[in-house]
Amino acid sequence: MKQVGNMLVLETLDEIVTPGHTALLVIDIQNDNASTQGTLASRGVDISAVRRTIPAIQMVLAEARRTAVTVIFMRISNDRGLESPSRLRMREKSALKRDAAEYESSGCSGNEVLGELEPGPDERQFIKYLSSSFMGTPLDFTFRNLGIRSAVVVGMVTEGCVETTVRDLEQHGYYPVVLSDCVSSRRQDLHHAALLVMSARYDVITSEQLLAIWRRA
């Protein structure tokens, strides 16, 4: 930690991910996009990338709970009537078009957090309608009320909701930390490109590096 003017700036990873002021942000890992029984898998979309991240995310979740790190689950909702024309056009490039009316829609089981991650009864779940976990959600208000200074980010999609949220974390004054083996995309070229871009500005580490710090703590 160093003094810059009248501010104290966290410098080391150990300082940044101290459990007392760190949140674990789980982004958009839901039944429809990550379960072998979900909409994407049932329509033949390859979900192997996100499936590979689940064991590491489970380990991080377990350690977060052991060390009393705040855990927040973000859930993307694609409800009809709540999207702009530009966003609808963007979705036309996605693996699943809008012909699946219930895909990730609020109130449907596919919108729920992936069952294998088992959110606890006291762990917050916020619905979002856009890529950023901040846009239209109480995330910033919650972080400030809880004294959160840093957020460890896991989830999907690396070049989409993950990267957008990471940028907004820094813009809102928080320290973002991305776990490279706990984020995923169906396109590996975009996944690696996004990690490269984020690592130039933020901390991008592995789950094992984070777990080693939390276990020491």
**Is residue 110 pLDDT above 60, yes or no?**
yes
Residue 86's pLDDT is what?
A: 65
Alpha-helix residue ranges (DSSP H) falling in the chain? 13-16, 31-34, 39-42, 48-66, 85-91, 139-146, 163-171, 188-199, 207-216
Rounded to 10 degrees, the C-alpha dihedral 62/211/18/112 comes to -40
d(CA 158, CA 183): 6
Predicted pLDDT of residue 103: 60
d(Cα 147, Cα 153) in Å, to the nearest integer? 17
- Averaged pLDDT of the chain: 90
Note if the bond before 157 is cis, omega within 30 degrees: yes
Name the active-site residue from 32, 161, 182, 203.
161
Q: Please identify which of the residues 14, 97, 99, 128 carries the catalytic annotation.
A: 128
197 in Cβ contact with 163 (< 8 Å): yes
Q: Taking the domain 2-216, which CATH number applies?
A: 3.40.50.850
Confidence (pLDDT) at 116:
96
Q: Residue 5: pLDDT above 90?
A: no
Query: Given 2, 14, 28, 99, which residue is catalytic?
Result: 28
Tell me the average pLDDT across 118-127.
95
pLDDT of residue 89: 63
- In three-state secondary structure terms, 191 is helix
- Residue ranges of domains in the chain: 2-216
Q: Is 182 a catalytic residue?
A: no
Identify the DSSP state of 161.
I
Question: Which pLDDT belongs to residue 98?
Answer: 45
- Would you call 28 a catalytic residue per the annotation? yes
Lowest mean per-residue pLDDT among 44-53, 104-113, 161-170, 195-204: 104-113
Q: Is the pLDDT score of 61 beyond 90?
A: yes
pLDDT at 99: 47
For residue 123, what are its two tokens? Answer: 């762990």
Q: Give mean pLDDT, residues 56-74.
A: 98
Which tokens sit at 72?
Answer: 């927040």
What average pLDDT does range 96-122 have in this prediction? 74
Place 8 in a pLDDT band, splitting at 50, 70 and 90: confident
**How confident is the model over 142-158, as a mean pLDDT?**
98
What CA–CA distance (Å, rounded) separates 167 from 178? Answer: 11
Structure tokens belonging to residue 21:
């002021």
The answer on pLDDT for 100 being more than 90 is no
- The pLDDT assigned to 108 comes to 74
Give the per-residue pLDDT at 150. 98
Q: Using pLDDT thresholds of 50, 70 and 90, give the confidence band for residue 107.
A: low
108 in catalytic set:
no
